[in-house]
């Protein structure tokens, strides 16, 4: 009988991208397994595109903002029903948080999580039936792979891998389609100001893209990011600010790019996971546990806390990827 598995990694975009590498590992070890996934509604497309059988959207962020809205309570009840529709052999919580451990407990299945020495919130541990030691010094994607492997009795091998199942073309009603001329993705948007790369360096990079006959696309996700995209595009006839797009549309756009450069943000990690030659710019965080370089030679990390890379280093990295 094929194994039935539920995985929980609800957010954020980059973390869900990295965690979804376990889907490829599971397919290799247990080809007939059925794997469902719980994710925040904003990121549900990622495990779906990575091959999950069913994705159960979770809207905690929105529910918190509108906690008195009766519709939210109805949605929560519907989520609980969806969670309990199946009986799982194994439930694996990759979140390291009490809130996700409570979700895992609401599902039918034997619950696995990180042990007390490995997890971010040790209070979650009593909610699991089996816990596993996974070194906290490992890269985040390897921590996820190691926990899933321990729960399912296999050993992950090689680099993290994804088998994306996104559409080859955007839907006919899509607001965003890839340009016909060669282009690159410049991923400046991030929720933390200390992760931003100086705007004068983005301007120089856009100018150098023009010299190479490349359009520079500046995607965005909220009003502040849209304003920054528009500001960065000023004075550059090769810069384009696309309309706001869904994650599947962005997947298509990323896939067709010549290369991408981005700060430590979800789209940068996803770009590398899609196999796009990508350079990640670290200014406030360390790439040791969250860098894209672990994915292979098509991905390069630059910089670190208090050491934002300069444009020349970025160009050298792009040349190495194009090489």
- Which single residue is written with the structure tokens 């190479």? 212
- Most distant CA pair in the chain, distance: 62
Mean pLDDT, rounded, for 225-253: 94
In a domain, 143, yes or no: yes
Domain, as residue range, for 87? 4-152
Instruction: Return the closest-CA partner of residue 280 out of 294, 306, 262.
Output: 262
**200 and 89: one domain?**
no
184-232 residue pLDDT tens: 999 999 989 999 999 999 999 999 999 999 999 999 999 999 999 999 9
In a domain, 159, yes or no: no
In a domain, 160, yes or no: no
**13 and 141: one domain?**
yes
pLDDT at position 173 is 46
What is the spatial distance between Cα 168 and Cα 270, in angstroms, rounded to a whole number? Answer: 17
**113 and 213: one domain?**
no
80-132 residue pLDDT tens: 999 999 999 999 999 999 999 999 999 999 999 999 999 999 999 999 999 99
pLDDT at position 257 is 96
Mean pLDDT, rounded, for 269-281: 97
Mean pLDDT, rounded, for 245-249: 89
Structure confidence at residue 321 as a pLDDT band (50, 70, 90): very high
Using the 3D structure, point to which of 133, 152, 171 is the last residue of a domain. 152
In a domain, 161, yes or no: no
* Full DSSP string of 59-124: -HHHHHHTTT-HHHHHHHHHHHHHHTSSEEEEEEE-S-SHHHHHHHHHSEEEEEEE-TTT-S-GGG
pLDDT at position 1 is 61
Q: What is the CATH number of the domain that holds 268?
A: 3.40.50.2000
Mean pLDDT, rounded, for 256-262: 97
Whole-number mean pLDDT of the chain? 93
In a domain, 175, yes or no: no
* Full DSSP string of 138-150: S-HHHHHHHHHHH
**108 and 192: one domain?**
no
pLDDT at position 63 is 72
**238 and 121: one domain?**
no
Q: b/e per residue, 245-272, with b = 16+ CB within 10 A?
A: bebbbbbbbbebbbbbbbbbbbbbbbbb
In a domain, 53, yes or no: yes
**15 and 131: one domain?**
yes
**210 and 266: one domain?**
yes
In a domain, 177, yes or no: no
């Amino acid at each position: 009988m094929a194994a039935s598995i539920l995985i929980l990694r609800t957010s954020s975009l980059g973390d869900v991208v990295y965690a979804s590498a376990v889907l490829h590992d599971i397919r290799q070890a247990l080809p007939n397994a059925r794997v469902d996934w719980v994710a925040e509604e904003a990121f549900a497309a990622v495990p779906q595109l990575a091959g999950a059988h069913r994705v159960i959207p979770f809207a905690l962020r929105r529910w918190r903002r509108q906690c008195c809205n009766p519709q939210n309570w109805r949605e929560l009840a519907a989520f609980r029903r969806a969670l309990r529709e199946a009986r799982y052999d194994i439930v694996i919580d990759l979140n390291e948080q009490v809130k996700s451990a409570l979700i895992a407990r609401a599902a039918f299945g034997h619950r696995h999580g990180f042990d007390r020495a490995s997890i971010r919130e040790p209070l979650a541990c009593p909610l699991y039936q089996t816990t596993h030691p996974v070194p906290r010094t490992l890269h985040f994607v390897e921590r996820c792979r190691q926990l899933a492997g321990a729960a399912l009795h296999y050993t992950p091998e090689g680099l993290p891998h994804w088998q994306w199942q996104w559409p080859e073309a955007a839907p006919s009603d899509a607001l965003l389609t890839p340009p016909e001329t060669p282009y690159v993705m410049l991923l400046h948007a991030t929720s933390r100001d200390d992760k931003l790369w100086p705007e004068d360096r983005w301007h120089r990079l856009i100018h150098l893209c023009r010299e190479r006959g490349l359009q520079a696309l500046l995607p965005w996700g909220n009003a502040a990011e849209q304003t920054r995209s528009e500001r960065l595009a000023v004075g550059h006839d090769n810069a384009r600010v696309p309309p706001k797009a869904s994650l599947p549309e962005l997947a298509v756009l990323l896939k067709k790019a010549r290369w991408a450069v981005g700060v430590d943000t979800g789209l940068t990690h996803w770009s590398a996971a899609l196999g796009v030659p990508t350079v990640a710019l670290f200014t406030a965080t360390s790439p040791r546990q969250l860098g894209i370089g672990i994915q292979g030679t098509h991905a390069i990390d630059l910089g670190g806390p208090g050491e934002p890379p300069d444009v020349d280093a970025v160009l050298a990295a792009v040349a190495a990827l194009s090489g």
